[in-house]
């Protein structure tokens, strides 16, 4: 029996997925609490023993490949020129690389912002600014600020190419670790993420893993190759596009509700479907990820409460549900697990709020404009109204008593008609929590990863 072991060192749990290559299927899965604060190998070995117990004994693996979001994941700062343009482009690159964007800075950065970068212990700085041939003074100023600081994090420069020589000289003389990439916005409203995203991934593998103590597992694992969210994005894109003769599912939306964040992924061009609609604003990536750090079922439960309106809270109170108390309970005890029907119902309500708010921030919007030629519409962001599949994952969705209802509730948008949400998708569940594992497997065998996802991600 030929097997791979795929590992996700998560912020809360270390998750293992064993794949039987011959049968083209999942052999078993297991998880244990991540032990990054002591020795990350401890949690891995506990999960491995659980996996062996499920299988019925120890087996050998041809390859052991891992991704990681442990120790805070990949923390980045995006620096640009104009907030709506190069700064937003830099932010999208960070998110596409699987990072958690801790800071977003624009224009000329100052000493207080430098201190924020130091305080948040940023892993990588993405420095952008100016289209090619445009403003370069600002990005040179920002390079000088970084150079004169005590910051030691690697700096990825992906701004105006006309500033490369000056930025290289400034950072070299300051003995900073830096990398030069293609401009993330070479032309106005044009997005170019691949080069910078790939460089960030390389830095994560070569530098960040060791700094977070994850390098300790190299003796028992072949390689840690990706931040976990990037692995999930790869899996979602493969499932959408297909590979070779193996067809994909087409345009899709993936929602991942976790304890600390809610991640949304859309794999679609998102071009206008409304007649007389024109695109405005920054170009959108085909494979897009957004992460809401204020929306989570445990660490960030207080953010869910803040996202509710007073009328929402009063509505639930009239039904006998004290959302203030429920959110406080979950925030205070991140290991709390629901056991009764009523507790699962409240979990569903909180999770649907997470998805609803995250979708509002992710999808495009449509604004009507009166013109001499009649009514026109300006579309900003992606039109996801015709997306054919919506996939739910994350512990609260997988364990829900009614996952389809949870996902359906979050898509109702009678009060938000300007938002370009999916209208009539098919609903699916990542019941075995395998998406990050399939992203890893896709690097070795994309056809196999695609077939397993199509088999294991079930229609609701």
What does the pLDDT read at residue 210? Answer: 66
Sheet with 124-127, side-by-side order of all strands: 100-106, 75-80, 124-127, 155-157, 178-180
Task: Name, in order, each residue with C-beta under 8 angstroms of 243's C-beta and a sequence gap of 6 or more.
Answer: 446, 447, 450
pLDDT of residue 226: 83
Q: What dotted CATH number matches 3-71+212-221? A: 3.30.420.40
| Cα torsion 420, 357, 103, 227: sign | negative
pLDDT at position 113 = 96
pLDDT-above-90 percentage for the chain: 70
Measured distance CA(46)–CA(14) in Å, rounded:
9
Residue-wise DSSP of 122-154: -SEEEE--S-TTS--HHHHHHHHHHHTS---S-
pLDDT tens digits for range 152-210: 999 999 999 999 999 999 999 999 999 999 999 999 889 999 999 999 988 887 776 66
Protein fold of 75-206: Rossmann fold (3.40.50)
Q: What is the pLDDT of residue 348?
A: 93
Whole-angstrom distance, CA of residue 186 vs CA of residue 205: 27
pLDDT at 72: 66
CATH 3.40.50.2300 domain position(s) in the chain: 75-206
CB 279 within 8 A of CB 271: yes
Pick out the chain residues at pLDDT < 50.
none
Unique residue bearing structure tokens 């030929």: 2
3-state DSSP: the chain helix, strand, coil percent, rounded to 5?
40, 25, 40
User: How many residues comprise the chain?
Assistant: 460
Q: Is 18 exposed, middle or buried (0-12, 13-18, 19+ CB in 10 A)?
A: buried
375-398 pLDDT, tens per residue? 888 999 999 999 999 999 998 999
pTM: 0.88
Q: Do residues 217 and 68 touch, judged by C-beta distance below 8 A?
A: no
Domain with CATH 3.30.420.40 in the chain: 3-71+212-221
Instruction: Note the pLDDT of residue 212.
Output: 58
Which residues are paired to 424 by β-bridges?
none
pLDDT at 264: 95
Give residues with Cβ within 8 angstroms of 97, minimum separation 6. 74, 76, 196, 197, 200, 201, 204, 227, 230
Determine the Cα–Cα distance for residues 154 and 309; give it in Å rounded to an integer. Answer: 41
Task: Say what angle helices 403-411 and 341-362 make with each other, to 10 degrees.
Answer: 40
């Amino acid at each position: 029996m030929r097997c791979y072991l795929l590992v996700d060192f998560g912020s809360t749990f270390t998750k293992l997925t064993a794949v039987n290559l011959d049968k083209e299927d999942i052999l078993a899965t297991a998880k244990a609490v991540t032990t990054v604060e002591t020795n990350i190998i401890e949690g891995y070995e506990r999960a491995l023993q659980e996996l062996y117990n499920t299988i019925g004994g120890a087996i050998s693996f041809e390859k052991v490949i891992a991704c990681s979001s442990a120790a805070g994941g990949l923390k980045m700062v995006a620096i640009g020129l104009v907030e709506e343009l190069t700064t937003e482009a830099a932010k999208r690159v960070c998110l596409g690389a699987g990072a958690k964007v801790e800071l977003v800075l624009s224009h000329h950065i100052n000493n207080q912002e430098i201190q924020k970068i130091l305080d948040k212990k940023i892993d990588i700085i993405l420095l952008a600014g100016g289209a090619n041939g445009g403003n370069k003074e600002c990005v040179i100023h920002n390079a000088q600020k970084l150079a004169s600081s005590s910051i030691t994090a690697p700096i990825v420069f992906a701004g105006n190419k006309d500033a490369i020589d000056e930025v290289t000289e400034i950072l070299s003389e300051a003995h900073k670790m830096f990398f030069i990439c293609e401009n993330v916005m070479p032309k106005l409203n044009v997005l170019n993420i691949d080069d910078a995203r790939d460089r960030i991934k390389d830095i994560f593998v070569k530098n960040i893993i060791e700094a977070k103590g994850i390098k300790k597992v190299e003796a028992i694992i072949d390689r840690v190759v990706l931040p976990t969210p990037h692995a999930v994005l790869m899996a979602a894109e493969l499932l959408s596009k297909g590979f070779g003769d193996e067809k994909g599912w087409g345009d899709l939306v993936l929602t991942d509700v976790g304890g600390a964040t809610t991640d949304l992924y859309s794999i679609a061009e998102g071009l206008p479907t409304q007649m007389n609609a024109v695109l405005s604003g920054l170009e959108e990536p085909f494979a897009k990820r957004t992460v809401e750090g204020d929306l989570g079922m445990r660490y960030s439960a207080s953010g869910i409460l803040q996202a509710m309106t007073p009328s929402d809270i009063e509505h639930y109170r009239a039904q006998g549900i004290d959302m203030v108390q429920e959110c406080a309970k979950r925030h205070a005890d991140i290991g709390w697990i629901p056991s009764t029907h009523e507790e699962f119902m409240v979990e569903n309500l909180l999770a649907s709020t997470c998805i609803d708010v995250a979708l509002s921030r992710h999808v495009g919007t449509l604004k009507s404009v009166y013109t001499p030629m009649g009514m026109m519409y300006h579309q900003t962001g992606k039109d996801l109204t015709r997306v054919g599949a919506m996939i739910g994952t994350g512990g609260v969705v997988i364990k829900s008593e009614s996952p389809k209802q949870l996902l359906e509730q979050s898509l109702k948008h009678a009060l938000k008609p300007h938002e370009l949400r999916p209208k009539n998708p098919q609903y699916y569940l990542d019941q075995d929590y395998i998406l990050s594992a399939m992203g890893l497997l896709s690097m070795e065998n994309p056809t196999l990863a695609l077939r397993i996802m199509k088999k294991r991600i079930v229609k609701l």
